[in-house]
Amino acid sequence: MAVKIRKNKVAPPPEKCALTECMSVIGGTWTPNVIWHLGDGPRRFSELQIDIPPISAKVLTQRLRQLEAKGVVLREVKPTSPPTVEYSLTELGCELIPAIQAIVTVGEKLKLREEA
């Protein structure tokens, strides 16, 4: 006898699901790390490379461009000699910090469970 398929009682998401939209921003490899490290204030590219040692320059560049296109990161060229570029979170980007903090908190609990 076959198992009866239960109907989902959750309302179907609108055309553009908010969860899917948010995960498209923070779901990429290293993206939460980049957002996390920009949460303390503006950082230059080289500083972010030091903050996140395993990330390659190519991937960091891609992530920063994606985040800038999504309106999460602001890229500002400083008029110095030679010119420097600083990255910072926009107001929208700052709103992601509590969500990433919650993920970090759960991650710490999971880590403790593994160690026990």
Query: What is the average pLDDT across 46-73?
Result: 96
Q: Higher pLDDT residue, 77 or 17?
A: 77
What rounded mean pLDDT belongs to the chain? 91
**Tens of pLDDT along 61-84?**
999 999 999 999 999 999 989 889
14, pLDDT greater than 70: no
Q: Higher pLDDT residue, 52 or 16?
A: 52
Q: In the prediction, which pLDDT does 18 show?
A: 83
13, pLDDT greater than 70: no
How many percent of the chain have pLDDT more than 90?
A: 71
Give all domains of the chain, ordered by start, each with its CATH number.
20-115 (1.10.10.10)
Distance CA 94, CA 96 (A): 5
Q: Which of 93, 91, 84 is nearest to 64 (CA)?
A: 93
- The contacts of residue 29 (CB under 8 Å, 6+ apart) are 59
